[in-house]
Amino acid sequence: MAKIKFIEANGKQHEVEAEEGQSVMQAATNNLVPGIVAECGGFASCATCHGYVDEAWLTKLPPPDAAEEGMIACAFHVQPNSRLTCQLKMTPALDGLVVRLPVSQTEE
């Protein structure tokens, strides 16, 4: 079990537990974290599980593949630390991960 802290755009924090191997997106939806829409269910097809990974954690993650990069280009409110949370798998090294959420997943 590892902890993830989601911070909504309005500052509200949600600390949730995730199992190893689970995606960061799934941990959010299992725990009803607002701000993760996850329309396509984790197949990198919709960019509605977009989150900003805190700088300290960015280097601990494998870089995005072409599919993820293509979809991040599709997302709203993109920043340099934008990732698709459906593509981030939890490992013990990610215990304490902090992910901030955009103002909206579906509009500008």
Residues contributing to the site for other proteins (CB under 8 A): 29-32, 34, 37, 39-41, 43, 45-47, 67, 69-71, 73-76, 106
For the CB of residue 41, give the shortest distance to other proteins in the complex, in Å.
4
* Residue 23 DSSP class: B
For the CB of residue 8, give the shortest distance to other proteins in the complex, in Å.
11
CB of 32 or CB of 80, closer to other proteins: 32
Coil vs helix vs strand at 45: coil
CB of 70 or CB of 93, closer to other proteins: 70
Host H or E run for residue 28: helix 24-30
Side-chain half-sphere CA neighbours of 96 within 13 A: 5
CB of 62 or CB of 108, closer to other proteins: 108
Contacts of 39 (CB under 8 A, 6+ apart): 46, 48
